[in-house]
Structure 1
């Protein structure tokens, strides 16, 4: 029904969407774990012959495998992205928006911070090369930039396919999820004979995990009680334990992450159920004003933190190699005691970066505010972004590829244009129907968590 006294077809002010504090807090927790985990994973090693290599210290520790099983939170990013992304797409669609407009908003929101990172790194590293810094140290820092790019590629692939997957979800939600899971298993079955085929799961796997967020967002699909949710968590982990125990998959979830395999989907199922279980506790914890403030600030700069923390860690490690600063051997007691200092160093380096480049995330990017661009411009932008990212994922990031990637990302930003924010948004007074605001157990109110309007 329309507003009394308002003419059909008139528009009304749309209130700014509230943030879902439970999802925001969960994402903040995941981001903090990722940053802390990386400070204990990446080690620069200076060999007696003067060569420099990197070492993933935690991946080499057998005792760490069951711990990373618990703290591998990457699936949770995609589950929450599915929840908020579906809400965002339905609101845009209810206003008459298109998939191209959705893709434009998503691309701009994610690649603007990445374009800044690549441009600064390429310029800075070439200056370092010209200043006589050892090429191996430069390549070490370049490698640090390449690690977060795989997530950007996977998340963009999932989000850009969201309108299509949402349409399939609306028609046959369980069949869509089952089909994606089947594709994941099929790729795993043939990856031994065709290793390059494994990278298809960068799309199939993360789209399937994102689809779990769709299921949580629609209450009519599933209304499990707490006992059922506990059973889902336990059952998923038991099946995962069986598959790894039989030797069908590795028990090390870091190995299973890139390229991803069916283990990550099982983890996603368990984490989706755990998120639903923890939602009341998360909402209660986030009721504190200081928690909401911290999480809100971090959420608005989450992509900048994620993209920059590893390059800054690599840069700090490379610079330490050029000095007489103590360099304890990896996995020794002295090395473990140095990890809090390394984490503090990364945080200190992040603060000026967030002050300068965090604004790229805070600029309005809601789909409703987008100035539409031609479909060919948006599609071209997506292609030119994925070319260097796919090359880096398959062959590793080099200084030359870093320069090419910088040019591609800047070109994509130019193709996508600007997204000015009007003082308010308007929607038809008749409402958007069921799609305008999907009801569900998670979330129960409009969102603007992190990458959503």
Structure 2
């Protein structure tokens, strides 16, 4: 794979605090939402099942149109990813170096999570815990891995998609949308083909983030932005009324479909509409400090919160504490306590493993890894991730995934320090920030 061309990269702006705040909001909403969904049930015969309490509420279906923030997260990922790629190119970095850094940033914390889950669940199995309970915990705790698969697919394709965007932004986005629609049309006859949209759909949403990064929405008036929000939601409503798609955006999430792109358009325009207000909020010292701290550990929070929630819920079933039925008033009153429990468990995890999100950067004039090593690492990572996304997570896949991720980390090594190279060669490009690089924006 040759480094994508595309002319001189535009000047990269400083940190976009509004995008940082949007990503923080998305992460917080996902964690809160999951505490309202996971509801394990211990039956009289000793079996355990898990109910999606929030998803089963009839009133929640229209609400999730607003609360389904995963499209906004990928829009924000497109903004920050494009900034990162342009900054790296301005320092002479290659597409392989970008992929190397992105892979390391994502798979190092995931490798430790898989290894800890594999060890813990095997220990539980050897101690006599019912295999059904173990499989339920593995499947539920592994839900974040679908996001890892989708986000990796989008980010690793970013350099050449950015080159296409520089040449023909509208045509590139239209081509991706045509692929999304084609997959949606064929998913009835070929159900497994639907998972191709984990690449096409999220790359299209990421491409929308490129448009936001280029400031294309800034020329729209508030009434124009409201018109975009209304039109995208109206089109979404028509598709649902015609029964072409489900009105439940949780159902539409996995595998993803065209409805999520329409949500992304609405959310991107809505973000631009409230940008002045968010900019003032993000500039406040306390808000900026919290967003920065959480942003540096965002992947650790995302990957670990659901396994910790599943483990905590499973252990509570073994106690004599009252277990309210999901959806009852008593159950809803316990949700704040569950959220506090997850946050309390996350704190030591962040202290132990949070630094794994820092991109390991070699000092001096270290050379980047060979292209073959980077490509091999990407393939090694995608084998267990794709398997988990398609077939669910098992204990065996946890162990195999941890081994594959560890091998990929060894193949990738450390990322060369581009600011050191530029200084040694007398380069005039803007320096990269010193490690640790921030997770929410790596300019």
Superposition TM-score, scaled by structure 2 size? 0.91
How far off is 1:448 after superposition? 5.5
* Matched-pair contact (CA < 8 Å) for 1:84–1:449: no
* Matched-pair contact (CA < 8 Å) for 1:43–1:55: yes
Q: Distance in 2 between matches of 1:85 and 1:365?
A: 18
1:296 aligns with 2:286: no
1:341 aligns with 2:337: yes
Match of 2:82 in 1: 86
* Matched-pair contact (CA < 8 Å) for 2:61–2:248: yes
Match of 1:151 in 2: 147
Aligned pairs (5 A) from 1:15-30: 18-30=14-26
How far off is 1:430 after superposition? 7.4
Match of 1:372 in 2: 368
SS in 2 for 1:426: helix
Match of 2:119 in 1: 123
Match of 1:320 in 2: 316
Q: Distance in 2 between matches of 1:375 and 1:421?
A: 17
1:283 aligns with 2:259: no
2:108 equivalent among 87, 91, 112: 112
Match of 1:189 in 2: 185
1:224 aligns with 2:220: yes
* Matched-pair contact (CA < 8 Å) for 2:71–2:264: yes
1:259-291 per-residue CA deviation (whole Å, 9 max, x = no partner) reads 000000000011111111122111100121111
Q: Distance in 1 between matches of 2:158 and 2:84?
A: 10
How far off is 1:87 after superposition? 1.2
* Matched-pair contact (CA < 8 Å) for 1:122–1:399: yes
Aligned pairs (5 A) from 1:6-405: 18-219=14-215, 223-364=219-360, 371-405=367-401
Equivalent residue pairs, number = 426
Unmatched runs of 5 consecutive residues or more in structure 1: 1-15, 438-446
Q: Distance in 1 between matches of 2:216 and 2:137?
A: 49
1:337-364 per-residue CA deviation (whole Å, 9 max, x = no partner) reads 1111111110111010001000111355
Q: Distance in 2 between matches of 1:323 and 1:226?
A: 54
SS in 2 for 1:60: coil
* Matched-pair contact (CA < 8 Å) for 1:25–1:286: yes
Root-mean-square deviation over aligned CA pairs: 2.4
> In 2 relative to 1, CA 303–93 (structure 1 residues): closer, same or farther, beyond 3 Å?
same
SS in 2 for 1:381: helix
1:304-343 per-residue CA deviation (whole Å, 9 max, x = no partner) reads 0000000000001111112212111111111111111111
Q: Distance in 1 between matches of 2:204 and 2:68?
A: 17
SS in 1 for 2:142: helix
